[in-house]
Amino acid sequence: LLKGEYDSLLRWPFQQEVKFTLIDQQNDLDERRNIVKVLAPAGNNEGVVNFQRPIKSCNTGRGYAKFVPHDVIRTRRYIRDDMMYLKIEVEPTATVG
């Protein structure tokens, strides 16, 4: 998590799900096999410093060290024209203010 100007409006610790989708760029939409992983913080992250409000510029990272093996990326059309697309979706949160 990065420190930001709206941190005072957010609820802490961070508890939203984050979905990572590696897009399969097959021409035929029915043939696409996107790779999806969800990072779901535990229900109580009080003791997990990664999800606390950042004090410095950013917190220590947390997530998937090995999202997709290289041999899998080379299959299908995850890379096309030297381009790869990773979609990241963060579950909405209600502000406190």
pTM for the full predicted model: 0.79
Q: In which residue are the tokens 């947390």 written?
A: 62
Burial track 14-42 (b if 16+ CB lie within 10 A, e otherwise): beeebebebbbbeeeeeeeeebeeeeebe
31-50: pLDDT as tens digits: 999 999 998 876 655 567 88
Token output for 67: 């999202």
Structural element, H or E, at residue 88: strand 86-90
Supply the pLDDT for residue 41: 75
